């Protein structure tokens, strides 16, 4: 599994633990739902700005998206 797939899997896990839909996460982060889906599937190479936006939307520290 590559880093994009690992990150996507972790993002999906964190989102589901908070009972947030992809649509809700998209709204909270300023992204769109297909983009969120692509990240979770490991198809997107996200920027640091996007990672920070996702962490804020989930109410977590950025580093938590990289911890197992």
- What is the per-residue pLDDT for 44? 96
| Residue 34 pLDDT > 80 | yes
Give the CA diameter of the chain. 28
What's the pTM? 0.92
At the topology level, CATH places domain 3-65 in 434 Repressor (Amino-terminal Domain) (1.10.260)
Mean pLDDT, residues 52-60 taken together? 97
User: Confidence class of residue 67 from pLDDT cuts 50, 70 and 90?
Assistant: confident
Looking at residue 65, the DSSP 8-state letter turns out to be: G
CB of 57 closer than 8 Å to CB of 28:
yes
Domain boundaries, the chain: 3-65
CB of 11 closer than 8 Å to CB of 65:
yes
pLDDT digits (tens, 9 = 90+) for 14-23: 999 999 999 9
Q: Dihedral (C-alpha) 52, 58, 9, 16: value to the nearest 10 degrees?
A: -170
Rg of the chain over CA atoms, in angstroms? 10
- What is the per-residue pLDDT for 1? 76
């Amino acid at each position: 599994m590559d880093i994009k797939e690992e990150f996507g899997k972790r993002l999906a896990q964190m989102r589901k633990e908070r009972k947030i839909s992809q649509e809700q996460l998209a709204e909270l982060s300023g992204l769109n739902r297909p983009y969120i889906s692509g990240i979770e599937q490991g198809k997107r190479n996200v920027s640091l700005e996007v990672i920070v936006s996702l962490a804020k939307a989930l109410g977590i520290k950025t580093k938590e998206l990289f911890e197992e």
